[in-house]
Amino acid sequence: MRNKDREAIRRLLSHARYEVLPTTTIEAKVLESVPTDTQITVTASPSMGLDRTVELAERLTTQGYDVVPHLAARMVSGRAELVELVERLTAAGVTNVFVPGGDAQTVGDFPDALTMLEELTAMGSPFKDVGVAGYPESHPMINDDLTIQSMWDKRKHATYVVSNLTFDPAVVKDWVRRMRQRGISLPLLLGLPGPVDRTKLLGMATKIGVGDSTRFIAKQKGMMTRLLAPGGFTGESFLTKCAPTVGEPEAKVDGLHVYTFNQVAETEEWRRDWLRRLQH
């Protein structure tokens, strides 16, 4: 491995944040395994509701974590509820939110992320940082060109982009190039799966509601196939192959967004172990 790539990986691992689902046991797992200087992002589950997301964000913030709740636009009924959510989160000390459209059916005035981002801007941009989703591979419901266009439309309301899971370093290279050529200059957090155990992944799916579980399994089907294959996909091999791309300054990749699937202890151990090995 080139020294340049090694340094890029070390930098990204040192700026990794962990995504978790708001299950009943995750708070204890985070407190036990994750240092408070690691940023935690909390997903929004249609079956659990946004209250679970916000409540977990509030509790972890009081424990000293920098928490990024997901405010899924389609789950918010309208401006009144958005104002309430903003008031709760800002009162708790939250300064950073992630705004996806979300998997839920639209329940109110926000059919997509952009409409809610515009509303947040109209409210005076109450959060210092706002993240939006990027899709290196095809979105199941949105044309590829539209996903790039969507990032362009959202760029003035956001401060960074988080890439959705992909397993092909060549796709990442092409996507980052296209995004930057289009003039989208927002910093990027590269989406990366942690060390996921298939049994625990399936167990996680059973905890998040029947509807969510179906979507969860459908989304992760490709990942489980790769994880189970001999010599299959690992986050470590993926990031190593991405290093020549994401290590370049013009790529503007500032860190990692690690999809832990609530395996936070295993993820933190894996990250620390890799950082130790990179020192030698």
Mean pLDDT of the chain: 87
Q: Which residue, among 88, 83, 110, 87, has the nearest Cα to 99 in the 3D structure? A: 110
Q: Specify the pLDDT at position 223.
A: 56
b/e for 46-68, b at 16 or more Cβ within 10 A? bebebebbbbbbbebbeeebbbb
Nearest residue to 59 (alpha-carbon basis) of 31, 32, 39: 31
Is residue 222 classed exposed, middle or buried when 0-12, 13-18 and 19+ CB atoms within 10 A define those classes?
A: middle
- Is 3.90.79.10 the CATH classification of the domain at 3-278? no
The strand pairing partners of 68, in sequence order, are 41
The count of other CB atoms within 10 Å of the CB of residue 42 is 24
How confident is the model at residue 167, as a pLDDT? 78
> Over 50: is that where the pLDDT of 7 sits?
yes
Residue 120 confidence (pLDDT) above 60: yes
Domain borders along the chain are 3-278
Which residues are within 8 A (CB) of 261 and not within 5 positions of it... i.e. 6 or more apart?
21, 193, 194, 196, 200, 201, 204
Q: What is the pLDDT of residue 141?
A: 52
Please report, as a single letter, which amino acid is at residue 97.
Answer: V
Average the pLDDT over 44-52 and give the result: 91
pLDDT digits 0-9 by tens, 64-115: 999 999 999 999 999 999 999 999 999 999 999 999 998 888 999 999 999 9
3-state secondary structure 169-195: HHHHHHHHHHHHHCCCCCCEEEEEECC
Between CA 118 and CA 122 the distance in angstroms is: 6
Instruction: Supply the pLDDT for residue 280.
Output: 74
Q: What is the pLDDT of residue 213?
A: 45
Please report the pLDDT score of residue 207 as a whole number.
Answer: 55
- Closest of 165, 261, 7 to residue 175, by C-alpha: 165
**Tally of residues, the chain:** 280
The per-residue pLDDT for range 161-182, each reduced to its tens digit, is 999 888 789 989 999 998 899 8
Whether 205 shows a pLDDT value over 60: the answer reads no
User: What are the Cα distances from residue 127, in Å, to 21, 36, 146, 184, 276?
Assistant: 22, 20, 26, 21, 35
Q: How confident is the model at residue 210 (pLDDT cuts 50, 70, 90)?
A: very low
pTM of the model: 0.88
Cβ-contact 113, 105 below 8 angstroms? no
